[in-house]
Structure 1
Amino acid sequence: MKSLSVNLFVALRSYHKINKISLYNFSFFPNNKRFFTMNEVLTPRDSGEFIASKASHVKIIPDGIQKLASAVEEALEAGSISIRGFAESPVHPKPNDPECLDALLVMDALNFSFWTPDNQPKWTVVYDDVPYTGYFALCAALVRAKKEGVDVWRPEVYSKLTEQQLKEILRSSTTTEVPLIKERCQCLQEVGNVLTTKFSGSFSNLIKQAEESAVNLLNLIVSSFPCFRDEATYKGQKVAIYKRAQILVADVWSCFEGQGQGRLKDIDQITMFADYRVPQMLVYYGCLEYSPQLQEKIAKGVDLPPGSEEEVEIRGCSIAVVDRAYQLLVTSERTHNRMVNPVLIDQWLWTERRRIADAVEHLGYHKTRTIFY
């Protein structure tokens, strides 16, 4: 049986033939490069490989990629990676809800910066007697507001919310409030105004313009909503990570299980969603290794400035790692007939991190205050 020890170049060449993507800038193929014009904004996938090829603070470990791919193989065979696992939380939108798409847009417009400084209680939202933290606390807070009579899915409503009103909607059951309330309010106002003026107040209208293409949908989102435009300049080159924009595309696809309004034929062109928690899992699997200086900053909880070399390298190398693991998986006989793509790998890593939180917490994670993740 063909295994994951298949020569990586063969895997990449096969993936190229299947998916018609270019093979360049892989750090262990230094002679296989593409040259970019410096004013070109690279796609997230190209950005990941460009960053990985030049990174000095973050190192990619091929053996760790093999380990990760093997773990994903096992999870696929066990049925623990599935598009059907998306909407299991009771506070997450369901496809039979007529406002589902608009709810996804609002949630992902606010889906950023949930980390709490060390030794402080987490931002927590209690809904139906269940405490939620992180992203699910956001979902719970918005569902709670809807139940309390605030029509949070309608752009003509949330585009006019004040900071104080949003603060009340996102109120915590602990002493820790959600950060960046001003920026969250600005994101909502921007999204609501654009949706109203350009798409007749409906996210569905924007999705229709994508014509069943994940790439088209991603481009529409980042061109229409500046608050989703997650870009940086690295080594003189413009790079795009697009964490929130890509997760919004993936949420549409996952929620509708790739059917109907969620039919996106090129979903495999979407990369993983480079945040602060999934890279922690990539360190756990031995895929990423940080320089001593960077590791010391993470251990001390030092904030990394948005767009700094260290922060961009963590995110870009994370994209490259998951892509390379995926490229191994699509050539493996154990998994080539199973549904797998970077979106599902990311969703599994994120969920798995919550499941084994105690085992990975000692590794720490990088902290950056930004609206982009």
Structure 2
Amino acid sequence: MRVISFKLGTRDRFLSKVSKHSILDLRKMTTLSPAESGEFIVKNAKFLKVNEDGIRSLVKEVIDGIQTKEINVENFSQHEYHPKPTDPHAANWIFLIDTLNFCFWTPGNATKWKVNGQTGYFSLCAAINRALANGVDITNPSFYSKITLEQLEQILRSDDGETQPLLMPERVACLHEVGKVLLDKYDGKFDKCVEACNNSAVTLLKLVTDEFPCFRDEAMYDGKRVSIYKRAQILVGDLWACYRGEGLGRFDDIEKMTMFADYRVPQVLVHFGTLTYSDELMDLLKSDKILDNGCSEEVEIRGASIYVVERLKELVLAELKANHPDISPKNVNAVLLDHFLWDYRRKHAVELEYIPFHKTISVYY
């Protein structure tokens, strides 16, 4: 198989350069929540700026999306690759998918990884469903906690039989890490993690980022420890969407989740004028340079994305209250807004290619 190998530019490499004493100091630091991080990052940003007028122009798109039901909690389970809330393995499927849900972009002119004709995230879904259909117990942590690289390569094999997603050894390491914790503490069932959180999205987010280090998406920025938590928050959001906010997916504080800051949604935010990149940042992105995970430019793009969607949410709720009392605000949260923006990018991929996206080799998104 054709494999492209990279070394991670993550906080782990950063931590390896500091003393044990410094590491302990870092771990004692208060970590800002994703919403707090977004606000702090925007206030101190050097490579971009947020445009209130652009955010306001996006409000109409969102209102239209709610009215046409493009923005709706029902949409998750309607997708052919996603489990239904009645599927007994749904929670473990979602946990497995979001453990592996990172780094699907293709460097340079490399062949795209495709499964059943799908690319990126949906390639992953298709590959996992194919394995299940072929009798592979892939959603069981007893299996994947000991999975080999060769086994994972076979499960994620592409349509061309050669191309793979990036970071295959790191994907195996993530599966070993989370699988062991599930077996040791939760009888191999992610459902039990969710049930332990008493219908609180915030509590589940903390449990996931505390118990499973590969979900702990944090960085140092301007003297503060900030958090993005893309995969951890999308995990909570996927549970909520799959179960339509009921049963195992009932979270009484789902509105406290922020968007899932990746490398594609910022393209949409720039396209609508909510973000403006400096000439320096734009030139850097156009150069196709790989940015280290945790560098200032990368953290600013992701943090500003969180801030913009939080502000968008506020404005949409205000607009609904003032002019659309017939529309329920239940479909206005960062989970559904992120789904809408991500889907917009997929639908308008060619149109949005004029905006470069940042490229980072990371297990966090």
Q: Does 1:350 align with 2:336?
A: no
TM-score, length basis structure 1: 0.87
CA distance in 1, matches of 2:133, 2:125: 12
CA distance in 2, matches of 1:229, 1:99: 25
Q: Is the CA contact 2:219–2:227 (under 8 Å) kept in the aligned structure 1?
A: yes
**How many pairs are equivalent?**
332
Specify whether residues 335 and 233 from structure 1 end up closer, same or farther in structure 2 by C-alpha distance, changes over 3 A only: farther
| Partner residue, 1:149 | 135
SS in 2 for 1:178: coil
Q: Does 1:308 align with 2:300?
A: no
Q: Does 1:170 align with 2:162?
A: no
Alignment of 1:224-235 (within 5 A): 224-235=211-222
Alignment of 1:238-317 (within 5 A): 238-317=225-304
1:55-101 Cα offsets, whole Å, 9 max, x none, are: 01111111111111221112112221100011232221221110000
Q: Does 1:71 align with 2:61?
A: yes
Specify whether residues 102 and 185 from structure 1 end up closer, same or farther in structure 2 by C-alpha distance, changes over 3 A only: same
CA distance in 2, matches of 1:66, 1:218: 30
Q: Which amino acid aligns with 1:246?
A: Q
Instruction: Please provide the CA RMSD for this pair.
Output: 1.2
Structure 2 counterpart of 1:365, from 347, 357, 362? 357
Structure 1 counterpart of 2:85, from 88, 91, 95? 95
Q: Which 5+ residue runs of structure 2 have no aligned equivalent?
A: 1-27
SS in 1 for 2:77: coil
CA distance in 2, matches of 1:242, 1:335: 33
CA distance in 2, matches of 1:346, 1:307: 22
SS in 2 for 1:90: coil
| Partner residue, 1:111 | 101
Deviation at 1:331, TM superposition (A): 1.2
Alignment of 1:184-263 (within 5 A): 184-263=171-250
CA distance in 2, matches of 1:335, 1:311: 37
| Partner residue, 1:318 | 305
SS in 2 for 1:331: helix
CA distance in 2, matches of 1:301, 1:88: 36
SS in 2 for 1:357: coil
Q: Is the CA contact 1:73–1:334 (under 8 Å) kept in the aligned structure 2?
A: no
SS in 1 for 2:87: coil
Q: Is the CA contact 1:73–1:335 (under 8 Å) kept in the aligned structure 2?
A: no
Deviation at 1:334, TM superposition (A): 3.7
SS in 1 for 2:350: helix
Deviation at 1:106, TM superposition (A): 0.2
CA distance in 1, matches of 2:77, 2:349: 21
| Partner residue, 1:23 | none
Deviation at 1:270, TM superposition (A): 0.0
CA distance in 1, matches of 2:167, 2:77: 27
Q: Percent identity?
A: 46
CA distance in 1, matches of 2:78, 2:358: 28
CA distance in 2, matches of 1:143, 1:97: 13
Q: Is the CA contact 1:195–1:203 (under 8 Å) kept in the aligned structure 2?
A: yes
Q: Is the CA contact 2:96–2:139 (under 8 Å) kept in the aligned structure 1?
A: yes
Deviation at 1:176, TM superposition (A): 2.9
Q: Is the CA contact 2:31–2:226 (under 8 Å) kept in the aligned structure 1?
A: yes
TM-score, length basis structure 2: 0.89
Q: Which amino acid aligns with 1:313?
A: E
CA distance in 1, matches of 2:344, 2:126: 21
Q: Does 1:57 align with 2:17?
A: no
CA distance in 2, matches of 1:91, 1:71: 26
